[in-house]
Structure 1
Amino acid sequence: MEPRWKGKGFKAKALAEPMSKIVSQLQSSLIQSDAQGLLAGCTVLIAVKPEQTDLLDRACFGKRIVTAEKDNEWFQLGLEEAFYLCYSLKCIKIVGDDKCPKNDVELWQCMISRKPTFPDFYKAYSHLRMKNWVVKSGSNYGVDFVAYRHHPSLVHSEYAVLVLSEGEGEANGRLRLWSDLHCTTRVSGSVVKTLLVLKINKNDNGAASPSCLEKYTAVERTIARWRPEQCREDQMIGEKRTK
């Protein structure tokens, strides 16, 4: 299925400036400025220079917070977004209430204390981000994430993403019954999205430190609603006759 671009010429604009290039520019800029984020509940607040605001917007990380400050812009990052910038891209540092930068293990444990499902969700988030998909919250559609081929201002999201853990499908409370699956595919289809289930296999590894992510695997499965009118016998016979 072709992406649904939001306007004429948007496809060419996206191809001229791929997401990988924008993220690379953001990474370089944040490293040079020694950017630092502050843990605040289930979010991370980061103050950036005005020129970095545009890069964060274009790379689709976080959301801008309007303040009266003139020298800095504030962004609110989700836990997965913040950890991706800190751990995977190595371009920001994150501090806690004690104002001291946390190392990878300390930050990992802080994230889990705030969100017990964080290891699975982060594996899913980073799995898609590393493939240059833009990943945003899917709460509006009853799923965990939605995935865009490029910036949401240019293209509609293509995938509604559910994150399931190996051996924990029942605990997630989703897709346990046929009716669960049917409802989810109906909702995804009504907003023209393909349901993508990411099953996170831990391969008998714990979650004591972020190094476990190297042994985690994400299995991708797309689920589409069966449409009887597209599989009718008389339709197939008609197509053969036209040939």
Structure 2
Amino acid sequence: MGKRNKNLKDLYPNALPVTLSSDVYGPLPDIYPHNPLSWIYFVGTYLYIQSRPVPEHKVRVEYSNGIFTVCNDKDMARLWSHGFFGKGSLSRSDPSWVERTSRRLGLDNDSGISSEDITKQRREERKRFKAERAKVEALELKQRQGLLSPSEESILSDLKEELNDFKQKSISASNQVNDLILREEDEILLAEGVNLEYLQLQVVEVFFLQFALDTLSIYKDDHLLSTSEVFYECCKLNPKFLLDYVVYHHYRSLGWCVRAGIKFGCDMLLYKRGPPFSHAEFGILIVSTKSRLDWIEISSISRVIGGVKKSLVLCFVDEPSESQTTSAGDIHSLLSSYKVTEVLYRRWIPSRSRD
């Protein structure tokens, strides 16, 4: 378990896609109180790092038809490995379509041979295998009919050994089948090496990365959107965007990894570090103080959340009045007027709560 956790920490080192000075120049040296040289070395290293710029890398996001997408492979890997943002369009969570398809087709190799050559070779082997198998089946039919000659018995034995050797050399039975029926997207990957998958971001993730971290460059029809334009587009896409974003920003700022909770009927899921490390511990249901509380819905969601061993948190959001909203001069002032209060909701079962 310790080795596994160490590998995960190496794969997912940072909680957010932000480049730190320690990532570029390394950590600051240790200070030893009894050694004045260590103090001098520390101060010199600190001043050197402060005088050097930290390179910034902004992820390019395309906005079209109400969807925010990231198509660059390195950018997709960066957003997922540094905070678990987005979802692969052809995957359950992280964009792993190329890796899964390559493994299924048996293209994972370090020999330097192209994927096209490997696929062509396997097709030829499979074609030969089918021809030899047809010969075996014909000889076995003659054997059952009692018409097999001694020379044909020797040929049948040799063919069976050859087929067994072929099966032993094959990577797996699943790869043999998949080589016969290639999907259309498999052909594109084999012939052109194109990754058909993209990373799709939620509106709250997009605005958090843009507004709070300034790590995105969002384009709509080759036009670079400003933060206010992104805010306007997000509000158009989601009528309750402000409520969702206030809660999302609240928990992200507290160090939680926040993911969509639609598969469990709630608004969000909270992870301590992220999906690869452990399951989500809490399901978040956002409740506006201006809306009516539906206890039937809350009870239903609580049953679902409890069934998957999570705790339901009712997140009450105090919305500002219309006068406060109109008087807010900028986005920061508007978001600061919202207040978040959490209540942990649990069913009380008398038979389990007795002393």
* Aligned-pair CA distance for 1:193: 0.8
**TM-score (normalizing by structure 1):** 0.76
Q: Is the 8 A contact 2:79 2:86 kept in 1?
A: yes
- Who is 1:214 aligned against? 336
1:40 aligns with 2:40: no
Per-residue CA distance 1:52-94 (angstroms, 9 max, x = gap): 4433222210123458666998421111111111111111121
Q: Relative to 1, partners in 2 of residues 1:184 and 1:70: Cα closer, same or farther, differing over 3 Å?
A: closer
Contact 2:270–2:283 at 8 Å: present in 1 too? yes
Q: Determine if the alignment matches structure 1 residue 176 to structure 2 residue 200.
A: no
Cα distance in 1 for partners of 2:339, 2:15 equals 24
Secondary structure at the counterpart of residue 290 of structure 2: coil
Match of 1:135 in 2: 258
Q: Structure 2 length normalisation: TM-score?
A: 0.54
Q: Deviations over 1:177-222 (max 9, x none)?
A: 3x33322211111111110111111232328852211221111111
Please state how far the C-alpha of 1:18 moved relative to its aligned partner. 11
Q: CA deviation at 1:155?
A: 0.3
Query: Aligned AA for 2:77?
Result: D
Identity of aligned residues (%): 23
Q: 2:283 aligns with which of 152, 160, 175?
A: 160
Is the CA contact (8 Å cut-off) linking 1:159 and 1:194 kept in structure 2?
yes
Contact 1:104 1:210 in 2 (8 A): no
Call closer, same or farther: CA 1:17–1:197 in 2, change over 3 Å.
farther
Q: Distance in 2 between matches of 1:221 and 1:184?
A: 15
Change beyond 3 A, Cα 1:10–1:76: farther
SS at match of 2:14: helix
Deviations 1:105-153 (A, max 9, x none): 2211111111111011011111111112111111111111111111212
From 201, 207, 218, the counterpart of 2:318: 201
| CA pair 155-11 structure 1, distance change in 2 beyond 3 A | farther
CA distance in 2, matches of 1:133, 1:192: 18
Q: How many residues align?
A: 215
Q: Distance in 2 between matches of 1:186 and 1:229?
A: 17
SS in 2 for 1:28: coil
2-structure distance, mates of 1:193, 1:12: 22
What SS is found at the alignment partner of 1:83? helix
| Aligned partner (choices 83, 88, 94) of residue 64 of structure 1 | 88
Q: What is the alpha-carbon root mean square deviation over aligned residues? A: 3.0
Kindly indicate whether the alpha-carbon contact (under 8 Å) linking 2:58 and 2:216 is maintained by their aligned counterparts in 1: yes
User: Does residue 9 of the first structure (1) align with residue 24 of the second (2)?
Assistant: no
Question: Counterpart amino acid of 1:191?
Answer: V
Q: Counterparts of 1:216-231 in structure 2 under 5 Å?
A: 216-231=338-353
Aligned to 1:85: 209
Q: 1:29-63: per-residue Cα shift (whole Å, max 9, x none)?
A: 9x73332212123431123353x443322221012
Q: Tell me which amino acid in the other structure corresponds to 1:28.
A: T
Alignment-derived partner of residue 241 in structure 1: none
Equivalent residue for 1:190? Answer: 307
- Give the structure with the larger strand fraction: 1
Query: Unaligned regions of 5+ residues in structure 1, if any?
Result: 1-7, 237-243
Q: Of Structure 1 and Structure 2, which has the larger fraction of its residues in helix?
A: 2
Task: Confirm whether residue 22 of structure 1 aligns to residue 22 of structure 2.
Answer: no
Alignment partners' CA distance in 2, 1:94 and 1:160: 30
